[in-house]
Structure 1
């Protein structure tokens, strides 16, 4: 088995009721969502470690402020954002990577949006 087959094989299946209307939506649903689900535990731990390295301020914030902190940390700390993007993009096949490059701006926005939503929904529950 080669790398491409192995990467696709380990991804969880996500059943969505909505049919993708565009190539970008299809990529989001067939590649980004499964990779984010696969990498969920790692992404959570990376964010928690990020918070601890910044004196744990996140854990003292209100729920609303935690949500904002997650969003702002990922969108404004470019080094951290690129690190998270790498964790996700490292699971692309070569074909997926080529498609990603063709639509990089749009797919990066979608990737970051999905990642922020995922972290917000879970970290708010974990830190209550």
Structure 2
């Protein structure tokens, strides 16, 4: 049976000896998961945005970017869905790293997803 890590693309993100454990986990684990789940994050957010603002797709890029920021900062249910989608792709071993610092990792997850969504809106 394939492991969850088999689904992830191996990214060539350099991790040096002075990289913190938190940064290494973000680079080696979280970023590949976010890349794998990117299409799903985008679809979920598009659905969310249109449900909140029916003419979302006709907004200016600046207003879309602002909406992304505000939504992921203030809508805790939405944040929890994105975090759950990401954490659900962790292995049991990776959970051992995630759990002690989950608040730090959750902030990083939301920050990275926000940046991903914003960069896709600018295209």
Question: Considering the TM-score relative to the shorter chain, is it more than 0.5?
Answer: yes
Correspondence list, 1:7-22, <5 A:
7-17=4-14, 19=16, 21-22=19-20
Displacement after TM superposition at 1:123 (Å): 2.2
**Residues 66, 124 of structure 1: 8 Å contact kept:** no
Corresponding residue pairs, total: 122
1:89 corresponds to: 87
**Residues 100, 107 of structure 1: 8 Å contact kept:** yes
- Select the residue among 68, 71, 78 that pairs with 1:70: 68
1:101 corresponds to: 99
Q: 2:55, 2:15 → 1: CA distance?
A: 39
TM-score, L = length of structure 1: 0.87
TM-score, L = length of structure 2: 0.91
Q: Which moved more, 1:15-24 or 1:83-92?
A: 15-24
Partner of 2:39, secondary structure, is: helix
Q: 1:91, 1:40 → 2: CA distance?
A: 13
Unaligned runs of at least 5 residues, structure 1: none
Q: 2:79, 2:71 → 1: CA distance?
A: 8
Displacement after TM superposition at 1:90 (Å): 0.5
The reply on whether 1:61 has 2:59 as its aligned counterpart is yes
